[in-house]
């Protein structure tokens, strides 16, 4: 019988964060589909309507939190999948730091975009 292997330590912090972010993402995606596919239909959605939603602090905060959560969840999942496939040594270090840099770039650009849509001139 095949032995089960996971790079996550059951009950560890990263294991817990992966599960908590999954639950949050399911909830936010449900909200997204309800709001943007049932309340407003595709032909009704416009750039101005989207910008108007982003000007609301609650919606803006939710979208930034969604960005942070989705980035962490995706990158952490990919990294641990690669470890489960046997990634070790220098390759593991290179992949880890590549994913960290890619995450920072995605988050910075995502926040810049959210700020532009919300009319916030931070950076």
pLDDT tens for each residue of 38-86 = 888 778 888 888 888 899 999 999 999 999 999 999 999 999 999 989 9
DSSP type of residue 4: P
Domains of the chain (ranges; CATH) run 13-118 (1.20.1300.10)
- What is the pLDDT of the chain when averaged over all its residues? 89
pTM, full prediction:
0.84
Q: Of 86, 114, 82, nearest to 98 (Cα)?
A: 82
Indicate whether 5 pLDDT > 70: no
Cβ burial of 89 (10 Å; 0-12, 13-18, 19+) is exposed
Indicate whether 2 pLDDT > 70: no
CA distances from 40 to 11, 23, 26, 58, 81 (A): 41, 25, 20, 19, 37
Residue 93 pLDDT: 96
Residue 45 pLDDT: 81
Is the CB of residue 122 less than 8 Å from the CB of residue 115? yes
């Amino acid at each position: 019988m095949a032995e089960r292997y996971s790079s996550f330590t059951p009950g560890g912090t990263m294991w817990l964060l992966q599960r908590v972010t999954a639950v949050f993402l399911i909830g936010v995606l449900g909200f997204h589909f309800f709001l943007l596919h049932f309340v407003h239909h595709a032909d009704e959605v416009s750039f101005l309507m989207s910008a108007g939603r982003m000007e609301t602090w609650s919606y803006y905060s939710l979208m930034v939190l969604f960005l942070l959560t989705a980035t962490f969840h995706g990158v952490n999942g990919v990294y641990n999948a690669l470890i489960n496939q046997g990634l070790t040594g220098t390759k593991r270090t290179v992949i880890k730091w590549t994913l960290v840099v890619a995450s920072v770039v995605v988050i910075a650009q995502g926040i810049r975009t959210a700020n532009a849509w919300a009319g916030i001139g931070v950076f």
